[in-house]
Amino acid sequence: MKPAALPAAMLRRLARAAIRARRRAYAPYSRFRVGAAVLAADGTVTTGCNVENASYGLTVCAERVAVQKAVSEGHRRLRAVAVVGGPDFTPPCGACRQVMVEFGVTTVVLSTPAGRTQVVALAELLPAAFRRQSRRRDA
Ligand SMILES: [Zn+2]
């Protein structure tokens, strides 16, 4: 799917929301703080930050926190996700890309803590994604 053509003001709004969310990151182990902001089809913005755990495998990325918050608040049609780690662009990990596909995200806005942004299509980041229709049952 093509990335949604989002107005520049919306890209900035999403990036700023992700930058604010990054401040709330719980990252005492990696010290790598990440924030994310999800834009739902109805315009709602939901944020998330990474939440680490002493049992490292339980750590959840900012993007998945934001997507799961949005879905739990009733937003299942998502358009875009902004993500900011730092100090350079921080693309989402493979697990987060897969979770974004599930809810129709087409656009990923990579941002830096300073507010520089780069827009990429989720389809470029995760070509041939595993989808609902990939789950054919055996006869
Ligand atoms: Zn991730």
Neighbours of 104 (CB within 10 A): 15
CA 8 – ligand 1 centroid, Å: 25
Residue 1 has pLDDT above 70, yes or no: no
Is 102 assigned a catalytic role?
Answer: no
Taken in order of first residue, the domains within the chain and their CATH numbers are 8-123 (3.40.140.10)
Mean predicted confidence (pLDDT) in 30-46 = 98
State the residue for tokens 């990335």: 3
CA 23 – ligand 1 centroid, Å: 17
Beta bridge partners of 45: 39
The model's pTM = 0.93
Given the residues 52, 63, 102, 124, select the one marked as catalytic: 63
Mean predicted confidence (pLDDT) in 31-39 = 98
Helix axes 62-72, 94-102, angle to 10 degrees: 20
Work out the pLDDT band at 68, boundaries 50, 70, 90.
very high
CA 138 – ligand 1 centroid, Å: 31
- Amino acid (1-letter code) at residue 78: L
CA 139 – ligand 1 centroid, Å: 34
